[in-house]
Amino acid sequence: MSQVRSRVLGFAAVVSATSLALAACGSGSGSGGSAASNPSGGPQLVSSDALTVCTHLSYKPFEFKDSSGNVVGFDMDLAQNAAKQLGQSKVTIVDIDFASQTSGAVFAAKKCDMAMGAVTINDKRKQSVAFSTPYFSATQALLAKKSAGITDLSSLKGKKLGVQTDTTGQAYAEKNKDANGYEVVVFDDLPTEIAGVQSGRVDAAINDNGPLLDFTKSNPDFAVVKEFDTGEQYGFLFQKDDANAAKIKDAFNAALKKSIEDGSYKASYKKWFGSEPAVMPTVS
């Protein structure tokens, strides 16, 4: 069994899990018998007193810890709205590796009710998990030092390009490496990928535009030198082919629709990204 640390951080509690221990936790309707029905008669949740959400910190400005240790961000705002829709007053965050979320392993192990992390919706992932209504449109972005003279992928011939494992950026980099002659270097998460550019381990990095543009705000020696329109849309993740999880997904979609109608989605977007969204999500 992996060691799990938990502490309450304002509205959110954060749990760090180093492994899933599927054999120990994979059976039954909850984890350790703590699952309980929603007090309003809604779907059964992993915990009786919170909506439990898996993610992989940090991915600013979508989910990260602020100076007080609270988990905040655009995704966190949406998770809190979903919790309220489900009659819960608290969100518990489980900090766990990205691949175990997109594979659906976290749901098989009853670690969380849903997962978030600026996750691109694609057909491969749909084989393992169910997605919410798309809530965000994104592009891939190329980050480099301003002094490096890098303007696009062709500028990286003979150089190294950093990617985050199991991401659309990695797939895009691998697809285009032979044509542009660069070496792909894989990092476990966004912070180590960015640190690779800062230290010179790699010459540039590719990832979603939101967090990379956010990074350049406080690091003026770096710039997003190119964006690639890959038609990406993000969704929250849920257990696939599960009636209970479908109810949780419906609650998230209902909360998303409500936030669009009452203006709170637009306000949250402007708070975290500095501008209003060019395209609003469509929720039927």
**Please, what is the Cα angle at 229 between 138 and 115, to 5 degrees?**
30
- Least Cα distance to 70 among 93, 54, 51 occurs for 93
Mean pLDDT in residue range 234-239: 98
User: For residue 13, what pLDDT is reported?
Assistant: 47
How confident is the model at residue 36, as a pLDDT? 53
The tokens for 178 are 């032979």
- What's residue 26's pLDDT? 34
- 103 Cβ contact list (under 8 Å, min separation 6): 128, 129
Q: How far apart are CA 86 and CA 80, in angstroms?
A: 10
Share of the chain above pLDDT 70, in %: 86
pLDDT at 214: 87
Q: How many CB atoms lie within 10 A of CB 7?
A: 9
Question: What CA–CA distance (Å, rounded) separates 47 from 51?
Answer: 7
124 within 8 A of 46, measured Cβ to Cβ: no
Tell me which of 21-25, 79-83, 235-239, 279-283 is least confident: 21-25
Whether the per-residue pLDDT at 32 is higher than 70: the answer is no
- The most distant pair of C-alpha atoms in the chain lies apart, rounded to whole Å, by 60
Q: What is the pLDDT of residues 149-190, one digit of tens each?
A: 999 999 999 999 999 998 999 999 999 999 999 999 999 999
Structure tokens, 119: 């996750």
**pLDDT value, residue 17:** 46
In which band, very low, low, confident or very high, does the pLDDT at 262 lie, cut at 50, 70 and 90? very high
What is the DSSP code (8-state) at residue 59?
Answer: B
- What is the band of 30 on the pLDDT scale with cuts at 50, 70, 90? very low
Do 92 and 115 contact (CB within 8 A), yes or no? Answer: no
pLDDT in tens, 127-136: 999 999 999 9
pLDDT band at 2 (very low <50, low <70, confident <90, very high): very low
Least confident range from 108-117, 121-130, 208-217: namely 208-217
Q: State how far the Cα of 144 lies from the Cα of 226, in Å rounded to an integer.
A: 10
Task: Identify the burial level of 16 via C-beta atoms within 10 angstroms of its C-beta, where 0-12 means exposed, 13-18 middle and 19 or more buried.
Answer: middle
243 falls in which pLDDT band (50, 70, 90)?
Answer: very high
- CA torsion, points 202, 209, 251, 46, in degrees to nearest 10? 10
Cis omega (within 30 of 0) for bond into 67: no
Structure tokens at 261: 């109608």
- Cβ atoms 234, 136 nearer than 8 A: yes
Over pLDDT 90: what percentage of the chain? 74
For residue 10, the tally of other CB atoms under 10 A from its CB is 12
pLDDT of residue 277: 82
Does residue 51 carry a pLDDT above 60?
A: yes
Token pair 């476990």 in the structure block, residue: 188
Check pLDDT > 90 for residue 276. no
Q: Mean of the per-residue pLDDT values for the chain?
A: 87
